[in-house]
């Protein structure tokens, strides 16, 4: 049986006061001493202003949420996914107990943050009970019992998919997308759908249907977008990881706004279908928002790999992504710029943080040089929105198309640019 005794060896994440407290050595110790213990002010309009950040290891839970919405004992979701999975495998923590804690945290933060569009408590409880049975039988899967919320623009069997819009019908879909199915088959507990702007089209999370998601670090600011609900849930300590997707920054922007980690996986790394329209420009990629690189690598290992019918696939990695987290990278060639979008002003605090990271990278033995990005902001913006408009047009029209014309309608309906133009823009 499960002891239902929660380990104390892994405390809730918080910013380390020193490298010794973080247990860091070598390059990581130097990095933490230079960056990790600081609070970086990012005066980006409508974005959070007290973003503590670390590379790879510890990212703290927002003090705003600790003070405003979670004044009780620290929640289990503030710990790492890897640590929670370990404790469930050793029967020191029950999947049902973990889910109860996550649902309680969800209820506590939702009035302030508005991170979720729907909670699937009954379905999740059945999944957690199945995970408990498997753990007791010694049949644990890679993510057995780990609660993960899914952004409300992909299919989760038994739940509606709203895309944050009043235009979408509110009825359950019968199937999972391939990614959601892989999470489910790996033992993840899919307990909620997370908030997003309508059709994920802007970089803040606000819609007429569901309202705005607020930043746990500062409730007067946005959590970013379009995966803002996922980022807010992780930053608040509800869960250690949440699903999102990214076509123009929709994982990276909210991760930055909320002081978290994310990346946009290579196209074809994670399967996207089945989706209406199937993204004819291959613009959007699924991934995760986490507090640690190691947790993100764990999840990417689970969901990566080609699926039948994928229009493009990425080469298989030489080794699991989790192994890459601790592997020495060698000397990297790194280009950086403090002015990534010509014509727009970068806040001095943000520019200083980038320069500090560049200096530190050079001290760690990498080749670092400043580069100029010579492109037209207007051209880039217009090309991107051509592709985005094509995606929305193809999605809406192919939803009405019959099965016989689905294959034809996906790449052609609503297309605003040539394949060569799309390839050039996305490469």
pLDDT digits (tens, 9 = 90+) for 279-310: 655 789 999 999 999 999 999 999 999 998 88
CB 241 within 8 A of CB 257: no
Report the pLDDT value the prediction gives residue 32, as an integer from 0 to 100. Answer: 32
Give the pLDDT of residue 41: 30
The answer to whether the bond into 5 is cis (omega within 30° of 0) is no
CA 32 to chain CA centroid, nearest Å: 23
Per the annotation, the verdict on 94 as an active-site residue is no
Rounding to the nearest 10 degrees, give the CA dihedral for residues 245, 388, 393, 151: 20
Q: Convert the chain into a string of H (helix), E (strand) and C (coil).
A: CCCCCCCCCCCCCCCCCCHHHHCCCHHHHHHHHHHHCCEECCCCCCCCCCEECCCCCCCCCCHHHHHHCCCCCCCHHHCCHHHHHHHHHCCCCCHHHHHHHHHHHHHHHHHHHCCEEEECHHHHHHHHHHHHHHHHCCCCCCCCCCECCEECCCCCCCCCCCCCCCCCCCCCCCCCCHHHHHHHHCCCECCEEECCCHHHCCCCCCCCCCCCCEECCEEEEECCCCCHHHHHHHHCCCCCEEEEEECCCCCHHHHHHCCCEECCCCCCCCCCCCCCCCCCCCCCEEEEEECCHHHHHHHHHHHCCCCCCCCCCCCCCCCCHHHHHHCCCCCCEEEECCCCCCCCCCCHHHHHHHHHHHHHHHHCCCEEEECCCCCCHHHHHHHHHHHHHHHHHHHHHHHHCCHHHHHHHHHHCCCCCCHHHHHHHHC
Q: How far is CA 317 from CA 269, 320, 384, in A?
A: 10, 7, 29
The residue written with tokens 């990498």 in the block is 366
Q: Whose CA is closest to 51, among 298, 231, 245?
A: 231
Distance CA 82, CA 302 (A): 13
* Angstrom distance (rounded) from CA 335 to CA 337: 7
Predicted confidence at residue 283, as pLDDT, reads 84
Question: Which of 75, 151, 230, 304 is an active site residue?
Answer: 151
Residue-level pLDDT at 215: 98
Q: Which one is catalytic: 226, 230, 256, 304?
A: 226
Interatomic CA distance for residues 216 and 49, integer angstroms:
11
Query: Which residues are bridge partners to 147 per DSSP?
Result: 189
Q: What are 32-76's pLDDT values in tens digits?
A: 333 333 333 333 333 333 332 233 334 565 655 554 443 344 489
Per-residue pLDDT of the chain (427 residues; tens, 9 = 90+): 665 433 333 433 443 232 223 233 333 333 333 333 333 333 333 333 333 223 333 456 565 555 444 334 448 999 999 999 999 999 999 999 999 999 999 999 999 999 999 999 999 999 999 999 999 999 999 999 999 999 999 999 999 999 999 999 899 999 999 999 999 999 999 999 999 999 998 999 999 999 999 999 999 999 999 999 999 999 999 999 999 999 999 999 999 999 999 999 999 999 988 865 556 557 899 999 999 999 999 999 999 999 988 888 999 999 999 999 999 989 999 999 988 777 778 889 889 999 999 999 999 999 999 998 888 888 888 888 787 777 666 555 544 544 444 444 444 444 444 444 544 444 4
**Tell me, what's the pLDDT at 2?**
65
Claim: this prediction has a pTM higher than 0.75: yes
| Catalytic residue, candidates 80, 230, 250, 256 | 250
Residue 333 β-bridge partners: 367
Residue 71, Cβ density class (10 Å: 0-12 exposed, 13-18 middle, ≥19 buried): exposed
**Residue 387 to residue 369: CA distance in whole angstroms:** 32
* Domain ranges for the chain: 1-10+58-307, 375-427
| Class for the domain spanning 1-10+58-307 | alpha beta
pLDDT score of 63: 56
∠ CA 348-27-9, nearest 5°, is 100
226 included as an active-site residue: yes
> Computed from CA positions of residues 145, 149, 154, 160, in that sequence, does the dihedral angle turn out positive or negative?
positive
Cβ atoms of 13 and 61 within 8 Å: the answer is: yes
pLDDT score of 275: 67
Which residues have CB under 8 Å from 334's CB, separation 6+? 358, 361, 366, 367, 368, 369
Give the number of other Cβ atoms within 10 Å of residue 279's Cβ: 23
- Work out the burial of residue 331: count CB atoms within 10 Å of its CB; fewer than 13 is exposed, 13-18 middle, 19 or more buried: exposed
151 is catalytic: yes
């Amino acid at each position: 049986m499960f002891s239902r005794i929660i380990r104390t060896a892994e405390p809730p994440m918080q910013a380390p006061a020193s490298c010794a407290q973080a247990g860091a050595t070598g390059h990581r110790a130097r990095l933490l001493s230079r960056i990790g213990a600081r609070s970086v002010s990012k005066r980006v309009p409508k974005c959070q202003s007290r973003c503590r950040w670390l590379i790879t290891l510890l990212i703290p839970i927002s003090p705003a949420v600790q003070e405003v919405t979670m004044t009780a004992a620290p929640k289990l979701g503030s710990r790492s996914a890897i640590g929670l999975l370990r404790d469930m495998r050793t029967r020191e923590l029950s999947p049902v107990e973990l889910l109860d804690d996550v649902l309680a945290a969800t209820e506590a933060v939702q009035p302030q943050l508005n991170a979720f569009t729907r909670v699937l408590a009954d379905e999740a409880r059945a999944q957690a009970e199945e995970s408990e049975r498997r753990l007791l039988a010694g049949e644990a899967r890679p993510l057995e019992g780990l609660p993960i919320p899914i952004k409300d623009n992909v299919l989760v069997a038994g739940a509606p998919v709203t895309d944050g819009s009043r235009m979408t019908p509110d009825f359950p879909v019968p199937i999972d997308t391939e990614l959601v199915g892989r999470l489910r088959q790996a033992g993840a507990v899919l307990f909620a759908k997370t908030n997003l702007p309508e059709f994920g089209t802007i970089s803040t999370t606000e819609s007429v249907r569901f309202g705005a998601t607020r930043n746990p670090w500062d409730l007067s600011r946005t959590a970013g977008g379009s995966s803002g609900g996922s980022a807010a849930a992780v930053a608040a300590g509800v869960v250690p990881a949440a699903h999102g997707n990214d076509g123009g920054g929709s994982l990276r922007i909210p991760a930055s706004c909320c002081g978290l980690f994310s990346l946009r996986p290579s196209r074809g790394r994670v399967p996207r279908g089945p989706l209406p329209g199937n993204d004819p420009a291959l613009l959007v990629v699924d991934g995760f928002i986490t507090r640690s690189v190691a947790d993100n690598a764990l999840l990417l290992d689970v969901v990566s790999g080609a699926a039948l019918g994928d229009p493009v696939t990425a080469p298989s990695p030489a080794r699991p992504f989790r192994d890459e987290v601790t592997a020495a990278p060698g000397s990297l060639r790194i280009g950086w710029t403090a002015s990534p979008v010509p014509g727009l002003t970068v806040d001095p605090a943000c520019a200083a943080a980038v320069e500090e990271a560049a200096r530190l990278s050079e001290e760690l033995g990498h080749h670092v040089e400043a580069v100029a990005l010579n492109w037209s902001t207007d051209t880039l913006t217009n090309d991107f929105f051509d592709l985005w408009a094509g995606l929305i047009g193809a999605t809406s029209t192919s939803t009405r198309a019959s099965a016989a014309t689905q294959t034809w309608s996906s790449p052609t309906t609503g297309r605003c640019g040539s394949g060569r133009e799309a390839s050039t823009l996305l490469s």
